[in-house]
Structure 1
Amino acid sequence: MKIKTGFLILFCGVLSIGQTFSYQPTEEEQQELTTLKSQLREAISGDNIALWNLYAQARDLEIGIQAPEKLNYKLQHLRDYLLTILDDKKELLKRDAKDKKSEFLTLYQGSGVASAEPLSENCIGRYPTLDAMSFAYDFPTSLSIAIWYRETSCGFYLPKNGNGPFQIISKQYGNGSLDRALFEQTIKDFLEFSKKKIERYNSKNPETPIRLGYDSINYKDLYKFAGLYNGLSGGTVYGEIGPANPKYFLEKVPGERENGKRNGLFLQVLKVLEWEVK
C-alpha cells in the first residue's frame, strides 16, 4: 500500500488523541477517535512498510510546516500513535527472536568475534532508524548495518562516486553532506534493492531459497546474499552461490583471512548481534 501525504491531511482534519497539549479537543473530536483509530489500524494491518511510511510522513509534516495549534496537536498525536504501534510490533518480534540470535552467536563464537574490530559509534548511533526500517521490510537489522559498514564504514555522508552509503551503483545521490531524509531514502533504496535481489534468486532456486528476515538469519543465506550484493562467483544466480571476493564476507575470520584490516560482512553481522542481545 502506498500512502500519500493527502491521506494524512485527511486524517488530520479530524484526528486528536492521547496526551495533554495546550489545545483541548472537543467532546465530538474525542468521540471520533475510536472510529478513526480503527480505520487507521485497518489501513496498515499486515503492512509494516505502510506503517513506517505513514509514521515518517506524520513526523515530517509535524516538523516541516508552520501549522495552526489544532493541526499541530493532531499531527503530533498521529505521529506518536503510529510510532507506538510500530515499536510494539517490532519489540514483540525482537523479544521472540532474542534466543535465536543468542544461539547463532554461540554457534559461531569460534569465528573470531572476540578478536574482531569493535563496533564503532557510527554503526550503532543510527540504530533506531535502521532497525525500524529493517523491521518494516522484514530484513535483518544486523545485515543492514554490516553492509553499510563494509561499503562506507558506516559513514554518514555521500561518497564522491555518488552511489550513496550503501554503494548501489544504479543510484545517484550526489556527494557531500547527508541529512536524515536522504539517509532514510538510501536505506529504503538499499532494502528494496536487496529484497529484489533475493526474490530474483528465489524465483530461480525455489528448492533452496534464501530465508533472511528481521527475526531470521543463518550462515548459508548470509553467504549467498554477500554474492548477490557484492558480485557473484561464477556470475550465476543458480545453486550454491557466493561472493566473487570471499574477503568481503570472511575478512578477519580465523584462518587464511584472519590478518585482514577490518571485519568482513559475517563478523560485522555477529558484532551487531552481540550488541543487540546484551
Structure 2
Amino acid sequence: MKKRLTLGIGLLIFGLHFPHFAYEPDAVENAELTAVKDQLSPLIEEDQLALWNLYQQARDLQPFSQDEKTAYYLEHLRDYLLTKLQTRKERAKFESQEARKTFLENYQASGLALADPLAENCLGWYPTLDSMSFAYDLPTALTLAVWFRESNCGYYLPKNGDGPFQITTKDYGTGPINRSIFETTVEDFLIFAKRKIARYNGKNPDTPILLSYKDFNYADLYKFAGLYNGLSGGTVYGAIGPAAPKYFFEKMPGSFEQGKRNGLFPQFLRVLERELRQ
C-alpha cells in the first residue's frame, strides 16, 4: 500500500504556484513557514519515500491555489522539498560513482559492443524516474530498462490495459496518458519489483537479491529479469533466471546478438553510461 503523508499542516490545505508573486510575507508569516518546515523535518530525515510523497503533494496542490499567501507557502515548500531530494540524490550518485564506473568498464565490451544507443523518448522522463527510483531505493537504470523492454519507453496506455510496465495484475485502461497516471504506473512498478525481490529473498535468505539505488550486480539483475518476465523452471528457489533469456541478453554478443532491440542488461548499461557522462 502506498505510503501517504499529508501536507495539510496548519493552513496548507490548498495551494498552488503562479509564475510570479507580488506577495511578500512578513516576519510572522516567515516564522510560520519555518515552523512548518520544522514539523516536516523529522518525517523526511531518513525517509526518501516520505520526501518524494510530500514534494509530489506540494507540487500537485498548486493548481488549486485560491490565495497568494497559501500559494507562496506551497511554492516555497515545493522548492524546499525538491532541493532536499536533489541534494540527497546527488550525494548518493557521488558516493557510488566509482563503483558504477567499474561496473560499466567490466561489461563495456560484452554488454555494449552491439547495443543500440538510448532512444530520446527514454530520456524525457528521466528526472521523474530517477527521483522515484531513489525514493523506492532501486537502480534508476533498472526502471528505465524495464520500461524500455515492456513498452519501448512508451508514454501511453497500451491496448492490453497493463500499462507501460506491463503489470498484468493492473488495469489502467487504454489510450492517452498524463503525468499523474504515468507516475502511478511507475510507482506500481517499483512496489511490484520490491515485492518480487522480497518474496525471493524470503525463500533464499542465503543468496538474497541486493539491488538498490546505489548498488547492483550482474547476477542479481539476471535474477530480477526472471522474477519480472517469467522464471525458467517456474521456481523461485535457487539460481533463477528468465524463461526467455532474450529478455535479458538481446543485442549482446553470442546467441542473441542479432536481436532487434536491447535486452534488459544492455539497456541498463546504456542508462548507466548516460548517467556517468552527466
Q: TM-score range by the shorter chain?
A: over 0.9
Aligned to 2:104: 105
Aligned to 2:127: 128
Aligned to 1:30: 30
Aligned to 2:50: 50
* Amino acid in the other structure paired with 1:49: L
> 1-side partners of 2:216 and 2:11: how far apart?
38
Aligned to 1:190: 189
Deviation of 1:113 after TM superposition, in Å, equals: 0.7
Deviation of 1:2 after TM superposition, in Å, equals: 3.5
* Amino acid in the other structure paired with 1:186: T
Moved more, 21-30 or 214-223: 21-30
> 1-side partners of 2:139 and 2:118: how far apart?
17
Aligned to 2:140: 141
Deviation of 1:38 after TM superposition, in Å, equals: 2.0
> 2-side partners of 1:78 and 1:3: how far apart?
17
Structure 1, unpaired ranges of 5+: none
* Amino acid in the other structure paired with 1:58: A
* Amino acid in the other structure paired with 1:208: T
> 1-side partners of 2:61 and 2:21: how far apart?
18
> 2-side partners of 1:27 and 1:130: how far apart?
38
Gap change, CA 1:128 and 1:231, over 3 Å in 2: same
Q: Please list the CA deviations of residues 99-147 of structure 1 after superposition, one character each: whole Å capped at 9, or x if unmatched.
A: 1111001001121413311100111111000000000000000000000
Q: Please list the CA deviations of residues 45-69 of structure 1 after superposition, one character each: whole Å capped at 9, or x if unmatched.
A: 211111101100100001x214111
> 2-side partners of 1:27 and 1:105: how far apart?
52
Runs of 4+ in structure 1 off by over 6 angstroms are none
Deviation of 1:4 after TM superposition, in Å, equals: 4.1
Deviation of 1:70 after TM superposition, in Å, equals: 0.9
TM-score by length of 2: 0.94
> 1-side partners of 2:33 and 2:68: how far apart?
18
Aligned to 2:243: 244
Deviation of 1:272 after TM superposition, in Å, equals: 0.4
> 1-side partners of 2:10 and 2:87: how far apart?
25
Deviation of 1:90 after TM superposition, in Å, equals: 0.8
Give SS of 1:8's match: coil
> 1-side partners of 2:65 and 2:164: how far apart?
32
User: Does the 8 Å CA contact 1:202/1:209 hold for their aligned counterparts?
Assistant: yes
Identity in percent: 59
User: Does the 8 Å CA contact 1:8/1:58 hold for their aligned counterparts?
Assistant: no
Aligned to 2:257: 258
> 2-side partners of 1:255 and 1:29: how far apart?
65
What is the Cα-based RMSD across aligned positions, in Å? 1.6
Give SS of 1:125's match: coil
Deviation of 1:32 after TM superposition, in Å, equals: 3.1
Q: How does 1:191-270 map to 2 (within 5 A)?
A: 191-270=190-269
Q: What is the number of equivalent residue pairs in this alignment?
A: 271
Give SS of 2:53's match: helix
> 2-side partners of 1:3 and 1:165: how far apart?
23
Q: Please list the CA deviations of residues 8-51 of structure 1 after superposition, one character each: whole Å capped at 9, or x if unmatched.
A: 353627x9xxxx94111121122234333222111222111111
* Amino acid in the other structure paired with 2:118: L
Aligned to 2:60: 60
> 1-side partners of 2:34 and 2:78: how far apart?
16
> 1-side partners of 2:25 and 2:59: how far apart?
20
> 2-side partners of 1:192 and 1:99: how far apart?
28
Aligned to 1:170: 169
User: Does the 8 Å CA contact 1:48/1:136 hold for their aligned counterparts?
Assistant: yes
Aligned to 2:160: 161
User: Does the 8 Å CA contact 1:8/1:54 hold for their aligned counterparts?
Assistant: no
Structure 2, unpaired ranges of 5+: none
